[in-house]
Amino acid sequence: PIELEEMQKRSDDELVAHIRTIGLPPNVVDMLDPQTTTANLIPLTAPFDGVVIGRAATVGEMVSPTSTQFVVADVNRMWITVEVRKEHAGQVRLGQSIDFLADGASASVVGVVDWISTELDEETRTLSVRASVPNPILDQGPQGETRRLLKANTFGIGHIILSEAPQALAVPTPSIQYDGKEHFVFVRSTSGFLRRNVQLGPAEGGYTEIRSGLNVEELVVSAGSHVLK
DSSP secondary structure, 161-222, as one string? E----SS--EEEGGG-EE-SS-EEEEEEETTEEEEEE-EEEEEETTEEEEEES--TT--B--
Report which secondary-structure segment, H or E, holds 77.
strand 77-85
Q: What is the pLDDT of residues 138-189, one digit of tens each?
A: 888 787 778 889 988 999 999 999 878 888 899 999 999 999 999 999 999 9
Assign residue 167 a region (left: φ > 0; alpha: ψ between -120 and 50; beta: otherwise): beta
pLDDT band at 201 (very low <50, low <70, confident <90, very high): confident
pLDDT band at 25 (very low <50, low <70, confident <90, very high): confident
User: What residue type is assigned to position 190 of the chain?
Assistant: T
Q: Name the average pLDDT for the chain.
A: 89
Model pLDDT, residue 212: 93
Q: What is the pLDDT of residues 44-88, one digit of tens each?
A: 888 888 888 889 888 888 888 888 899 999 989 999 999 999 988
Q: Is the pTM of this model over 0.75?
A: no
Indicate if the alpha-carbon torsion angle 10, 14, 18, 20 is positive or negative: positive
| Cβ atoms of 199 and 210 closer than 8 Å | yes
Q: 80: closest CA among 134, 133, 14, 9?
A: 133
Model pLDDT, residue 184: 96
Q: Which residue has the higher pLDDT, 8 or 163?
A: 8
